[in-house]
Structures are given as C-alpha cells and as structure tokens.
C-alpha cells in the first residue's frame, strides 16, 4: 500500500531561517498544535529531530541542526546528521544564500542526493517594502527581484549556471512558489514515493485534493484483488468480514488524507474559531464527491 513507503525529508538552514515553522507547515500543523516542532527566536534544534506526519507515520520530516556557525564544515555536518537516510534536502534561508549553503549543496551533490534552495519568509520582505515604498509597491516585481538576487548570489558563490530558487511563506503556503516546490519534489521522486508524498501534503488547494483523489483511485484495483483473493478461500462468512474490515480501514485513511477525521477537524475548528459541529454541517460539504 502507498502508506507503507518510507520517505525521509531533511530541512536545514541557518538560525532564523524558519526551519521548524516550515517543518510544521508541510505537515499541515501550526506552531502551537500537538506534535509540532518547537519554534522561537533562539535556535532550538541541536540534533536531527524527526517529526512524523500526523496521519502518515511512514513520512518523516527531519529538522536538522543549523548551519552557518564559524565551526560549520559541510562534509562533517552531513556525517553528523546521518545524511544517507534522507531522500532529499531542503536548504532554507530567510535572507541571502551564503557559502555555507553552497558548500553544503556541493557535498550533497557528491552523495548523489537532491537538494532544493528555498528562500523563506518572503511575506516579511513584501510587508517591509509595502510600508517603506507604498506609492511604487509592486508585489510581482519585488518577488522577481528577490528571486534574481538569490540566483545571482548562487551563481557567484557556487558557480551554478542555472540554480533554481523557490520563494515561500510557511504562513501562506497557497501563495508564491510552494506549488512549484511541491511539483519539483514530486517529479524527482520515484512513482511509489511520489504517491506517498502526495498523500502527506497539506490540504491547501483543490489541486492537492485532486492528486490525492487520483492516488487513492490507483489503489482501488489492489483492494479489489485482495477482496477477490479472500473470497476464494472456502470459509463461510470470511469474505464478508474481510470486506468490512477493508472498507473500514480505507475509509479511515481517506478521511485522514482529506482532513475529515476528528483530529483534523478539531485542529481546523481551533484555528478558525468555530465549533466542530458547525464544520461538520457546513452547507455543501459532501465528502462523497471526492470519489
């Protein structure tokens, strides 16, 4: 089954880059939710911290210790964080990429692993520009300038001819480049891991929900084969019992994946300040339409 495939995602960066907040956001959690990574102005991560996905424990996001200290050495760092177990690395910065980032990227390349440059907290930069230059504020132009500055900085620092940089805000994943980062990660994973990664994505867009729907549809034939195999066993009542269990287990998985289980609804209710009962009876909410 897709939810048995192991995925390990490493998130690294300097202090203040927003690593822990990103770890929470990509798991669909807020910083104050149960199971969230610790966040704060003071660096809180001193060793690799695993954070399993709240509903898919086979998908683990690792919050790695910060880089950028005077004692930082890229090759030693990767050995210290047991780098071989990660499927890919996300390298975060809240400002400009430095030699610490590029040295780490070069070491990751030597291991034949993939990495992605992510410029976080772009919403803060936009807010600052809007306050300081309201008469000439142009969001798209500012974003392009941030992107170009990061790319040029990486070209000079790492000699990369065409580095790709994703601009994100962990507070607003529906904006900026998160959907592009998500697509890049999907494209670089093999088929099985890609499906598991899709199921672990936060439910922040109709596109993600459609991808989850398609992933589950691809599972249906496997469930049908399992049901058929059990029905061939000449034991009275076994087929009915097995089918009920298969239905129960998978309906629970579907609800969790689409954020319709009790835990997810309670978390949503707390965020939007509404009772769970009201969310359960929202007009037009028809989970059957997902399938």
pLDDT at 272: 55
Per-run averaged pLDDT (10 residues), the chain, 291 residues = 77 88 87 80 70 86 86 84 90 89 89 92 86 85 89 78 88 88 89 83 80 77 64 63 66 70 66 62 45 38
Q: Write out the residue limits of the CATH 3.40.50.300 domain(s) in the chain.
A: 2-198
pLDDT at 10: 93
Q: Residue 257 contacts by C-beta under 8 Å, 6 or more apart in sequence?
A: 55, 199, 212, 216
DSSP assignment of 181-237, as one string? HHHHHHHHS-HHHHHHHHHHS-S-SHHHHHHHHHHHHHHHHHHHHHHHHHHTS--TT
pTM: 0.77
pLDDT at 136: 84
3-state secondary structure 72-116: CCHHHHHHHCCHHHCCEEEEEECCCCCHHHHHHHHHHHHCCCEEE
Q: Residue 259 contacts by C-beta under 8 Å, 6 or more apart in sequence?
A: 28, 203, 265, 268
- Residue 47 φ/ψ region, left for φ over 0, alpha for ψ in the -120 to 50 degree band, beta for the rest: beta
pLDDT at 219: 73
pLDDT at 230: 66
CA 131 to CA 137: how far, in whole Å? Answer: 9
pLDDT at 114: 92
Alpha-carbon Rg for the chain, nearest whole angstrom, is: 22
Which CATH superfamily hosts domain 2-198? P-loop containing nucleotide triphosphate hydrolases (3.40.50.300)
pLDDT at 291: 38
> SS3 for 7?
strand
Pairing of β 49-52 and β 59-63: antiparallel
């Amino acid at each position: 089954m897709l939810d048995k495939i192991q995925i390990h995602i490493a998130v690294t960066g300097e202090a203040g880059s927003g690593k822990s907040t990103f770890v929470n956001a990509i798991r669909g959690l807020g910083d104050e939710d149960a199971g969230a990574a610790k966040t704060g102005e003071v660096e809180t991560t001193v060793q690799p911290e695993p954070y399993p996905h709240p509903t898919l424990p086979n998908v683990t996001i690792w919050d790695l210790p910060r880089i950028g200290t005077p004692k930082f050495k890229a090759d030693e760092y990767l050995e210290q964080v047991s780098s071989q177990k990660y499927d890919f690395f996300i390298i975060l910065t809240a400002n400009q990429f430095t030699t610490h980032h590029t040295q780490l990227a070069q070491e990751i390349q030597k291991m034949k692993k993939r990495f992605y440059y992510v410029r976080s907290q772009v919403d803060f930069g936009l807010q600052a520009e809007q306050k300081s230059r309201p008469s000439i504020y142009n969001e798209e132009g500012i974003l392009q300038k941030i992107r170009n500055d990061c790319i040029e900085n990486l070209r000079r620092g790492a000699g990369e001819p065409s580095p790709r940089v994703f601009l994100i805000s962990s507070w607003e994943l529906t904006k900026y480049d998160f959907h592009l980062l998500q697509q890049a990660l999907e494209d670089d994973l093999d088929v099985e891991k890609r499906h598991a990664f899709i199921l672990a994505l936060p439910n922040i867009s109709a596109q993600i929900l459609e991808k989850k729907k398609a992933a589950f549809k691809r599972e249906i034939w496997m469930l049908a084969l399992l049901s058929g195999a059990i029905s061939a066993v000449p034991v009275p009542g076994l087929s009915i019992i097995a089918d009920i269990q298969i239905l129960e287990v998978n309906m629970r998985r579907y609800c969790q994946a689409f954020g319709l289980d009790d835990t997810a609804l309670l978390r949503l209710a707390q965020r939007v300040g509404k009772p769970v009962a009201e969310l359960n009876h929202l007009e037009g909410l028809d989970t059957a339409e997902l399938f």
